[in-house]
Amino acid sequence: MLKGIEAHFPENTRVSFPEGGFILWVELPEGYDATRLAEQAKQRGIILAPGQMFSATGKYRNCLRFNYIDRDQATRERSMAVLGELLMDMAPASVAMA
């Protein structure tokens, strides 16, 4: 998944590995809306959790959480490419894509 994120996500995307599970926390550059991304991704069969779900105050709008244990490698790679396409379509003018 990290290679897919590096290849398909915007420059300056940051990834961390929270303790306690098979998940990635992804912070997109400012200006991206992870809730909008999650809605569009769901239409393509990709489920992710937008960061705002984890804040009572609406923080983490540009963050998302991935579970990476539920799919095979080929499916994860395709999903990263699709998410990259969706992100490119919604890229703020001030953000460069990788």
Distance CA 52, CA 64 (A): 8
Domains of the chain (ranges, CATH numbers):
2-89 (3.90.1150.10)
- DSSP secondary structure string for all residues of 25-58: EEEPPTT--HHHHHHHHHHTT---EEGGGG-TTS
The more confident residue out of 98 and 58 is 58
Is the whole-model pTM more than 0.75?
A: yes
- pLDDT tens digits, one per residue of 22-70: 788 999 999 999 999 999 999 999 999 999 999 999 899 999 998 866 6
